[in-house]
Amino acid sequence: MLLTVDLALLLEKLILVIVVVFTSLGIAMYTTFAERKVAAILQDRRGPNRAGPFGLLQPLADGMKLFFKEEIIPNFSSKFLFILGPALAMLTACMTSAVIPWGDKVELFGRTISLQIADVNIGVLYVFGVVSLGVYGIMIGAWASNNKFSLMGGLRAASQIISYELAMGISLIALLMITGTLSLKEMVVQQQHGYWNIVLQPLGFLIFLVCAFAECNRTPFDLPEAENELIGGYHTEYSSMKLGFYLFSEYINMFVSSVVMATLFFGGYDVPWFDESTLAPNIAAIIGVTALMIKVVAFIFLFMWVRWTIPRFRYDQLMHLGWRILIPLALFNMLATGGVILYFNK
Amino acid sequence: MNITTIIFILLSVMALGSAIMMITSKSPVHSVLWLIIVFFAISGHYILLNAQFLAIVNIIVYAGAIMVLFLFVVMLMNLNAETEPIKNYRLQLVGVVSGCSLLLIIIMALNRLDVENVVEMKVGDGGLIKVLGMTLFKNYVLPFEISSVLFLSAMIGAVVIGKKDMIADKK
């Protein structure tokens, strides 16, 4: 039999999946809290401080409120698709974490456990594939709502995500030309022994960052929901926890794209100027995971900082930036990278 | 019957069932969604054949980009049963004839197949990205480059057609 799997390995992976998914959910939960606190600080307010010490229980209170709210499904909408929309949004948001190396390896009960759920040899493409599917949750929900504003939001989301995917893909190609591998794990190992990819690909990182903002529908690219023109865009008709899923998947996406950027360009779980291989593997793993999380928190803060600093783009400006600026820049970056590689290999 | 055969049968049922649902469903949006499921099933087949690169590219290109555009157009045009043009008798006849001839060709092709060994799992590594790249750029460079030029010309053609409408509007 071909698919015979070691039972212990199955159990190990299952535990890893549960831990990773629940960690992402937990972090996303507190990201909603952090967003409100950061917004408050940037606007010289106090932010939520009533539920629990320093308002720390606020996300729980928000979640409870969403669960207990009345659920309304519009009359003329397709009910199955209406429910499928937020479910898909949540699913695609959680799927990416499968190929991310969270740390090197730990030794427990005499087993060496790799802190990565699946080290497939097409890692980066898998991430890209899941990102490209992310738009379905929004589009299906928007169409099923049977509402003009929702449909407008959904169409905006689709065109925006397709447009920015192109530039993102081209900037990734330049990165892949340097690393010569699609496996995220190997990329991190390469960065441990050499320079971080940000040094080699500064322009590529900038393009990737802008595209990541657009793919997450974060301000300044939050046109799909644009509350003052579309009353909430694709989730106008949604209420209770279905709305919660849509809002929450945005925060999971933000967390996951921060992890991806940290892994691709900032060395993943690598600590700069420090050789982890001399330490015991478990301690090295803890240090590695902590280093990755610090990088991720920095990225999430950047996401929020930008949201509360830069106003929303106009629609034509968004398309102009995507097609006339980012794609030519990404193409130039790819050509320049190829030229440099060719020159040094000779 | 081992696990791979079971998975193969499951995927095939999924692919064929969704394909039939795609053709028979009344709403164009539902058709598009069924077609997306077909692509996922086909990608599953690719993975069974150890062609991971093909599988993921199939997802990215077809499910992730082309079908989004399809869905986009279908939603934008808001096609309903009432607005659908009534096809005349002659068109239906043409459809039946061309469909039957395609079926005939497929049956003839399948006829020559070694039925015992239809399901070959994990044979070779032809679908892995490294092998695929080597084959493409060593043995098939010319066809590869010609097809890329074809793509480029199609892209330029699309832009020209789009621009023509804009220029006509300005006049």
CATH label of the domain that carries residue B31: 1.20.120.1200
Is B132 at the interface with chain A, CB within 8 A?
no
A248, A173 contact by CB (below 8 A): no
Is B113 at the interface with chain A, CB within 8 A?
no
- pLDDT value, residue B122: 55
- Asked whether residue A165 carries a pLDDT value surpassing 50, the answer given is yes
Is residue B159, in this structure, part of any structural domain at all? no
Query: Which of A120, A125, A155 is closest, CB to CB, to B60?
Result: A125
Is B66 at the interface with chain A, CB within 8 A?
no
Determine the residue type at A70.
E
- pLDDT value, residue B18: 93
Is residue A287, in this structure, part of any structural domain at all? yes
What is the number of CB-based contacts under 8 A between chain A and chain B? Answer: 69
Mean pLDDT throughout A105-123? 75
- Asked whether residue B149 carries a pLDDT value surpassing 90, the answer given is yes
Which of B:25-64 have CB within 8 Å of A? 29, 33, 36, 52-53, 56-57, 59-60, 63-64
Q: Which of A304-313, A325-334, B38-47, B76-85 has the lowest mean pLDDT?
A: B76-85
Is residue A12, in this structure, part of any structural domain at all? yes
CA distance A281 to A205: 31
Is residue A64, in this structure, part of any structural domain at all? no
- Asked whether residue A77 carries a pLDDT value surpassing 70, the answer given is no
Is residue B110, in this structure, part of any structural domain at all? yes
Average pLDDT, chain B: 82
Which of A:131-170 have CB within 8 Å of B? 132-133, 135-136, 139-140, 143, 151, 154-155, 158-159, 161-162, 165
Local confidence band at A1 (pLDDT 50, 70, 90 cut-offs) = very low
Percent of chain B at pLDDT above 70?
81
Mean pLDDT throughout A125-133? 86
Distance from the Cα of residue A217 to its chain's centroid: 11
- Asked whether residue B101 carries a pLDDT value surpassing 90, the answer given is yes
- Asked whether residue A34 carries a pLDDT value surpassing 80, the answer given is yes
- Count of the separate structural domains present in chain A: 1
Is residue B125, in this structure, part of any structural domain at all? yes
B69, A139 contact by CB (below 8 A): no
DSSP characters over A82-149: HHHHHHHHHHHHHHGGGG---SSEEEETTEEEES-S---TTHHHHHHHHHHHTHHHHHHHHHHTT-HH
- The answer to whether B68 contacts A139, with C-beta atoms less than 8 Å apart, is yes
Test the B interface: residue of A3, A96, A148, A331 with most B CBs within 10 Å: A3
ipTM over 0.90: no
Is residue B72, in this structure, part of any structural domain at all? yes
Percent of chain B at pLDDT above 90?
23
Mean pLDDT throughout B159-171? 73
- pLDDT value, residue B15: 92
A49, A55 contact by CB (below 8 A): yes
Q: Which of A278-287, B8-17, B154-163 has the lowest mean pLDDT?
A: A278-287
Is residue A134, in this structure, part of any structural domain at all? yes
Instruction: Tell me the three state secondary structure of residue B80.
Output: coil
Is residue A241, in this structure, part of any structural domain at all? yes
CA distance A45 to A40: 5
- Count of the separate structural domains present in chain B: 1
Q: Which of A163-177, A209-223, B80-94 has the lowest mean pLDDT?
A: B80-94
Mean pLDDT throughout A128-150? 83
Is B159 at the interface with chain A, CB within 8 A?
no
Is residue A55, in this structure, part of any structural domain at all? no
Local confidence band at B147 (pLDDT 50, 70, 90 cut-offs) = very high
Is residue B99, in this structure, part of any structural domain at all? yes
Is residue B165, in this structure, part of any structural domain at all? no
CA distance A160 to A217: 9
Rounded to a whole number of angstroms, the distance from the CA of B92 to the nearest CA of chain A is 30
In 3D space, the residue among A181, A209, A189 whose CA is nearest the CA of residue A101 turns out to be A189
A83, A242 contact by CB (below 8 A): yes
- Asked whether residue A195 carries a pLDDT value surpassing 90, the answer given is no
- The answer to whether B128 contacts A121, with C-beta atoms less than 8 Å apart, is yes
Contacts of B29 in chain A (CB under 8 A): 81, 143
Mean pLDDT throughout A80-107? 84
Rounded to a whole number of angstroms, the distance from the CA of B64 to the nearest CA of chain A is 5
Range of the domain at B44: 3-139
Local confidence band at B86 (pLDDT 50, 70, 90 cut-offs) = low
- Asked whether residue B118 carries a pLDDT value surpassing 60, the answer given is no
Residue A113: which region, alpha, beta or left (left: phi > 0; alpha: psi -120 to 50)? beta
CA distance A35 to A304: 6
Is residue A53, in this structure, part of any structural domain at all? no
Range of the domain at A97: 7-48+70-345
